[in-house]
Structure 1
Amino acid sequence: MINLPPRARFATAMLRTAATLSRVSGRGDGSVIGGKVGLTIEPRLLTLLAAGRRVALISGTNGKTTTTRFTAAALEVEGPVATNSFGANMPTGHTTALAKNREAVNCALEVDEHYLPLLLAEATPRVIALLNLSRDQLDRAMEVSKLAVKWRDALAAAPDIPVIANADDPWVTWAAGPCQHVTWIAGGQRWQEDSWVCPQCGKHLERFGEFWRCNECELARPTPDWNVDGDQVITPEGENIELDLRLPGQVNRTNAATALAVASTFGIPPALAAPRLTQVKSVAGRYAVVRRDRRRVRLLLSKNPAGWLEAFDMLEPRCPVVLSLNAREVDGYDTSWIYDVDFSPVQGRRVLAIGDRRMDLAVRLQVNGIEFEVVKDISAAIAAVPPGDVEVIANYTAFQDIRAEFDRVN
């Protein structure tokens, strides 16, 4: 039990009350409003709740929710874990996650990449995992280069904190440069359109398969300590750890490797943690399978060009795919980013476009030479395809709309 001063105890009680009221009124899980109430009463509440605990921070443009869920599962070897691995990745959500499970010594917190410097200062992490940096929500998110500078400056102020970083991402490698204790992961970088110039000197980067380097300065891909080979993770000690994941794609194997690396900094052997990852079958609805009218529908969430590229890699062969696009506030209003996505991987499939901005998507598919159909919604899309497997790729609010529709029918 964490010993909190009276004001913090009162703030925690009010946080829980606000979160409960939010849940019972159907307004959400209460993580954001609960944290907001708690931090209004005691602005230091996040710091006080994190004190004396072993906190892992996981951040990046893509994959942080899944990696946090994997990390929480791995840390559960030692008992309960305080985590926000189902979303709410800003300080209000972090505060609520820590308040909900005050008994847990180990904590795994997903951090919005813009808030990493703040959490680094307030949560005194034991380890930080840096996954990747790429463009996201162009109408409101900062440029990748500016975000990398923000990370690098924050990490330079706390160089002794251990960092686990993606060696394949030049921006992440550069941002982690000031850190004295870096463990490198061969995390992959299928999306490379944001990293053709050197973050350090601005010159062109050369790439040779997985290896990259700048010819004008010393920046180059570090030698990874952790590697992924098929369904195996190779540890720094050369141990081969078998992965039996329920989540698809190469990207989730590297997410799992990152989680095992984080767990190892907590003293948990990878061979002991790896079986726990098998229990992760869905993450806040991502990868969930819904059966409807003799169709087996799998839901994939993709919010930006890098995410869509990874989702294409997860598709089952030959089955129909439904693409759904919205442009509401949390998605970003600018849909021009879909022209950065190469849709050719869905060529030859039956493709259906839905969502608020399905006509924007239709134009993009036509430009890419993809045959497609535009239908009203997910129910119409399911009805239009024959019984069997159906893949659905949607951005954030489109994904939530589809989940709500499935819940309503159930």
Structure 2
Amino acid sequence: MVKLGGSIINQTVVHNPEVMQYLPEGWEDQLDSILNNTYTYGRVGISKMISSLLKDVKKEKAAEFESTALELWDRIYQAWLMSTLEPDKSVGPKVTSGAVSQSWSTFLEHIQKTPELMSIKTLSLLVNNMSLSSGLQSVWVLLKANMGLVVQALTTLISLVFESGFAVFNFIINIVVFLTALFYLLSSSGRLYKPVQIITDCSPIYGKKLAVAIETAVHEVLTASFKLALFYGLWTWLIHSLFQVQLVYIPSAFASILAAIPILGPYWACIPGVLDLYLVQGNPIKALVLVLFQILPTFFVDAAIYNEIQGGHPYLTGLSVAGGVFWLGIEGAIIGPLLLCCLFVIVNMSTSILRENLVSSPGAKFSRKDRALEKTG
């Protein structure tokens, strides 16, 4: 086919001189340069391909196979050049078709003597390299076509990482500052909490009442919730450990949260343990007993602790925690109940002052005596 194509081109150009006028100047030199480059780059490519295929073969055997392949390439190229020239103009040794056939036979013999060339390992390596290169080319085409989208995604990812990192760092700093200040206040406090003592000293008349109101509010809002959270956390951990449930700490923490924020009952925290016992371990009786043990304290412990809350309701604490988290983030879980304590302090102080005014008022005493006389009369 190559020989036939060259003959057709030569005959067309030779027998049609007018075609030469349409060709650019120096096209023959350019064609010779292209052919020489093709021959040179072909030799280099053959050498690289054989070297990559015969990495695990001895150097002598690989060099012999490479020389055979290059000899075949040289003879094919020389035979093709001689076929394009006229017999009178050919100079130098001639390469016949028999010489090319002999080189081809020698090349096939070397292939048969080199089984490493067609081994499964080599073929799989070639297939993997081709798959990898095609995949990388496809990815590169997609990246070039969607470079703006990729840059935007990278920018969003970097900003998200930095914002999350700064949020965690800010949370750690706030927790350290809060715990340090709380430790200092507790260490410097005597019989009364230090801020309460300062307010009491500033107001001798209502200071004692204010201290009592603050202590009552803190006890009603925070102490009861802390007791419930601590009890249900330890209780959930105990029964999950006794029943040999795979998940122990996560249900315990979830039960503590539900006890402090009574949106749902703390017994809902046993659902992962029940699923583990029933579906994974295949023990429905233990799952049922776990549910009973988780629900049992709600009939006794909740009532006993909620009786300590006189001026409020446990759901107010849950709302204060949820509202604080929604408003201020993680820190709101502490600030929300503190604001609720301030509200209870205001209510308790107002109630106490109104009662004292009613008791100490002379008109109030006289009206009470008149009412008593009217009832006896």
Please report the TM-score for the alignment, with normalisation by the length of structure 2.
Answer: 0.20
Q: Highest Rg: 1 or 2?
A: 2
Which protein has the bigger helix share?
A: 2
Q: TM-score, normalised by structure 1?
A: 0.19
Q: Which has the higher strand share?
A: 1
